[in-house]
Amino acid sequence: MGLFRSIFLTMFALISAAPAGLRAEFRLFKNTWGNVIVATDVTRAGKALTPPTLQQPVYYKGMSLGRKLGSIPGDNEPDVKQLNLFVADILAKQGYLAAKPGVPEPELFLVLQWGYIKPGSEDLLWFLGYDPRQDIASQATINMLGPEVFRRGMRSPEIDTILQDSQNPIYGIIVTAFDFKTARTAEPVALWQTRIGLPASGKSMSSALPVMIATAGPAIGRPADKPVFLDADRIREGQVKLGELKFLDYEQDSRPTEESGSGKK
């Protein structure tokens, strides 16, 4: 249900919009970011797709909704245009190519959004891919503790991380894929949705989002039975920055305005 709730909200925002690096350093105490959590939900129609490769890419058109997921006053936010360029470059490395004149007709319509998400403003357990069936200590009866309480120490590190991260603000990115031919119809066909999360504490949006998308790249749009945990610090050891990369191929009438890219509500 969470996937389709988010798809509905995404399509509502889509329709509303239609008219219009880091160098490694020696430190006594290393500043570690830990894992980026990547959760991908796939519909029945999406499961019939063949994941793209560099040799057999999939073409798309897309729309960026910017920081629709929220923000916090005083945060250092990324330049919207440059982040869209960066995302398109990461997608291209996974076989997702922006459709241009003279290339095959696009198969996908991708919707990108990001932001600062607080507990309570969104179901962070859902966002991070928590599945009680994979939690040995999940509560069996609502408002009543049972023998599962004694199994909390037996939880997997992944479940523990999700539960912990869901209690505090995170930076989040959502990429939702629709069938291109139906994306603008009354009954758009959703194919998959990838959600990417990282604790916001000690970071800024401008520093976190490029690292998150670069880390999550290989998992975007790829079916998985459970959330994927990818080491953000491995990417941070290199140099991740926004730059002159490829454009996310906007629909002509939905290109973000200067106001929407200002990073202020």
pTM over 0.85: no
pLDDT in the model for residue 141: 56
Per the structure, the complete domain to which residue 172 belongs is given by 2-21+33-130+166-252
pLDDT in the model for residue 24: 39
pLDDT in the model for residue 23: 40
pLDDT in the model for residue 102: 79
* Three-state DSSP class for residue 59: strand
pLDDT in the model for residue 246: 36
pLDDT in the model for residue 156: 76
pLDDT in the model for residue 137: 54
Q: Which residues contact 123 (CB under 8 A, 6 or more apart)?
A: 2
Nearest to 68 by CA among 162, 148, 174: 174
Q: Answer whether residue 264 is part of any domain.
A: no
Q: Answer whether residue 171 is part of any domain.
A: yes
Q: Answer whether residue 90 is part of any domain.
A: yes
Q: Answer whether residue 79 is part of any domain.
A: yes
In the predicted model, residues of the chain with pLDDT beneath 70 are: 1-31, 135-154, 238-265
In the sheet with 170-179, reading across from the earlier edge strand, the strands are 96-98, 58-64, 108-117, 170-179, 190-199, 35-42, 228-231
Q: Which residues contact 261 (CB under 8 A, 6 or more apart)?
A: 66, 79, 80, 81
Q: Answer whether residue 259 is part of any domain.
A: no
Q: Answer whether residue 108 is part of any domain.
A: yes
Cβ–Cβ < 8 Å for 256, 113: no
pLDDT in the model for residue 260: 34
Q: Answer whether residue 241 is part of any domain.
A: yes
Q: Answer whether residue 107 is part of any domain.
A: yes
Domains contained in the chain, number: 1
pLDDT in the model for residue 103: 76
Measured CA to CA, the distance from residue 211 to residue 57 in angstroms comes to 24
pLDDT in the model for residue 242: 54
pLDDT in the model for residue 148: 56
